[in-house]
Copies of this chain bind each other. A is one copy, B any other.
């Protein structure tokens, strides 16, 4: 099992440096004989699955997605040469690797930033032509190694294109230590009723 999840702490990078994770002690060993803590986070902190309702008014909530939506056959693409954005052209170079029903994970230079670094507004993202290409390829889900899958595109066309075609978006992966290639992914978001997304732990297994 290869962990591809963002470590969570009070220092975890937040999207546009907004509050992301806050840990507080509720019980301490010396005082209470046991340790217990409280965790505050957003539905989009660290590694997480976006539910369609995050960006589509009539979209499904996270508890309405099947577990198979974000787990299964997976390909990690080497996109570490991309400087700014992943377009259809960059993805076409990997066309042979992407199969129907795949979960496509984009490994970029984003993965080489520290998980506690200040937010990088110049992160590598998937442009809407890249999203259109992934729809044509009939993939099941798309994962990116930063806290967003698109960067300030008016109307969120990448999210809309993917979500309106039933493709699940996984954000906040960590892929620096992962060899590009085929795997099985198990990505398990918390089952929060009615939510627009949820924090997840994600792992890769050999295919």
Contact = CB atoms under 8 A, between A and B. Distances in A.
Nearest to A203: B67
A157 to B, nearest CB: 13
Interface stretch (A3-11, A81-89, A90-98, A99-107): A3-11
A191 interface: yes
B38 A53 contact: no
B190 A63 contact: no
A202 B201 CA distance: 11
Contacts of A194: 9, 23
Interface in A151-207: 156, 186, 188-203
Nearest to A63: B7
Given A7-B191, A42-B26, A190-B8, A36 B201 contact: no
A194 B23 CA distance: 10
A195 B37 contact: yes
A173 to B, nearest CB: 12
Contacts of A3: 67, 191
Number of identical protomers: 2
A29 B1 contact: no
A42 B38 CA distance: 4
B1 A67 contact: yes
B8 A191 contact: yes
Contact of A37 (B1, B5, B42, B55): B42
A43 interface: yes
Nearest to A9: B193
Given A7-B63, A54-B35, A67-B203, A188 B191 contact: no
A73 interface: no
A199 B192 CA distance: 11
A71 interface: yes
B44 A36 contact: yes
Which of the listed residues A23, A39, A42 has the most CB atoms from chain B within 10 Å of its own CB?
A39
